[in-house]
Every structure is written in structure tokens, then in C-alpha cells.
Amino acid sequence: MAKNSHIEWTHHTFNPWWGCKKVSPACDNCYAETWAKRMGQQLWGASADRRFFSEAHWREPLKWNEDARVAKRRERVFCASMADVFERRAILNNERARLWEIIEATPHLDWLLLTKRPQHILYMVPWENNWPDNVWVGTSIENQRVAEQRLPNLLSVPARIRFLSCEPLLGPLELGSWFRRDGFYPIDWVIAGGESGANSRPMHPDWASTLLRQCQRSKVAFHFKQWGHWAPANLLNLPAETVELANERPVEMVRAGKKLAGRILQGTTWDGLPSPAVHA
Ligand code: SF4
């Protein structure tokens, strides 16, 4: 699906800047920091520099928007893979303001703003109760403790689509009561996956399966992105090891690497997306 992005659920990736500061356990093995270091850039930490981009970079979404308009289709833009749009730091304010402008100027693109700092969303965007239809807002949650902290902030955001990224999934999640609140369904989409890369932590297969079941019960669209570095042993004919995670049944898993581990869960792939009807 991805045209210029390696992420299955988006067509494009746009970064208003590079660089960030770690905020929770999911950040421990931040792939963006690793990638930036590989490029020779030291951009992580409260006082580290951030990398900013040229005019040509900022013109790219305008071109994607025009292509989407001509093709009469909507395209998704993931923002941001190398930063957190809602990081609070004065040196980011200009780029952030520019991002809001470009979002408003590209109505044929759906902008997926994913953050680990949902507490900053409402005062950082200029839209108050009049959000553009082409903004989807999501927060990352890796375990129940983080879910309880971040979900109230996400649910206070009046965006047309709200979503969760449960990747890397580092613990069991019980989200049923967040999926149905006061008779309405405030979460439209869940993306889940295990960790990949060096020092990856295993995702217990039960965590993925129970999250899928919760989504099915509440009719929340579900996308299973990957097992990550570790795969359940029954998926692959490779030497397995017994993985024992706190409060979980021991499970046989394989250090397969992301590619081999694949993205089959309960015998199939899961590529759910929020209903297109919301764009009618
Ligand atoms: S918030 Fe995202 S980009 Fe920032 S350190 Fe954490 S994982 Fe990396």
C-alpha cells in the first residue's frame, strides 16, 4: 500500500523535524533515535538539537495533495516517524505552526498525528472545537498504566478519527471500558505490534489475541502490524525458547527477526481501517 512509506497503514510519512526526548518505556529502544544516530545525528534529549528541513521538504505534501485530488482518492500521511509533534519545546513552535497550515492546505490528505504526549494536544493546535476533517489523532500505549494516563487526554480531543498505536505492546491491555463510554464509541482504530530491532522485548501472544477480541467485541477496526523480533514458536520451524513474562503463562517463542516473524495473528492478517463512511 505504501507509496513512499515503509509503514503498511499509510501512503506517506512526513516529519516536520527530527529529534525527540524519551517519555515512557516504549521509548527505550526508539528506532527513530537509532536511525538518526546511523545518519550521524545526535538529536535525542531535552537540550539536544533538532533537525529542521528545507522549503522543498515542506512543499512535498502539497504535491501529494494535488496527486490525490487528480486521482480522486484520499491518501494518508503519517506524522511523525522521527519526532513527536506534541513535544513541548519553544524551538519547535514555528515548525508546528507551519504544520497546522500545511494540514489545512491539503484537504485531500488525511493527516495521522500520533503522539505519546496527548496532554499537550488541545493547547498546541489552533482549532479548538472546529477541527479540520482531515486530521486523525492517535496516542501510543504500551501497557495498561500508560493507557490509563493517556486515554483521558486523547478522548478530550474532538478530532473526527481517534486511534491507538499499541506498539511495541509491552503488557496486557484491557480497553473494553475505553472503547464504549456513555453509549458512544470514542476509539475508531487500533494498530498493534511487537517490538523489532536490537534488544527487543517479546510481545506475549495472549496480549495480541485479547486485544483483537476486545476490538471485535466493540467493532473497533484492528490492524496487526507485526510480531516484531519475537514470534510464537508455532508459526515458524526454528529453535524456540521458553519466555516467561510477569503474571503470564510461559510461552515458546522464537527470535526470528521482523521479516520472518511476519504478521499472522490467529491464522490471518488484520488490515482494518476506520470506516470510509466517515469521509462521506
Ligand atoms: S516519543 Fe517516539 S520518537 Fe520520541 S523518543 Fe519516544 S518513541 Fe522515540
SS3 state of residue 111? strand
pLDDT in tens, the chain (280 residues): 334 556 778 999 999 999 999 999 999 999 999 999 999 999 999 999 999 999 999 999 999 999 999 999 999 999 999 999 999 999 999 999 999 999 999 999 999 999 999 999 999 999 999 999 999 999 999 999 999 999 999 999 999 999 999 999 999 999 999 998 776 779 999 999 999 998 999 999 999 999 999 999 999 999 999 999 999 999 999 999 999 999 999 999 999 999 999 999 999 999 999 975 444 3
d(CA 280, ligand 1 centre) in Å: 34
The C-alpha cell 481517534 sits at 162
The pTM of this model reads: 0.95
Ligand 1 atom nearest 31 alpha carbon: 8
Q: What is the pLDDT of residue 18?
A: 98
* Fold exhibited by the domain 12-279: TIM Barrel (3.20.20)
For the chain, domain boundaries: 12-279
The C-alpha cell 510464537 sits at 232
Hey, how many other C-beta atoms are within 10 angstroms of the C-beta on 96? 17
Nearest CA to 32 among 59, 11, 13? Answer: 13
Ligand 1 atom nearest 80 alpha carbon: 3
Q: What is the pLDDT of residue 277?
A: 45
Q: What is the pLDDT of residue 198?
A: 81
Q: What is the pLDDT of residue 7?
A: 74
Q: What is the pLDDT of residue 181?
A: 78
Read off the C-alpha cell for 54: 528545507
d(CA 187, ligand 1 centre) in Å: 22
Q: What is the pLDDT of residue 184?
A: 72
Q: What end-to-end distance do the CA atoms of the chain give, in Å?
A: 22
Ligand 1 atom nearest 22 alpha carbon: 5
Q: What is the pLDDT of residue 211?
A: 98
Q: What is the pLDDT of residue 179?
A: 95
d(CA 92, ligand 1 centre) in Å: 15
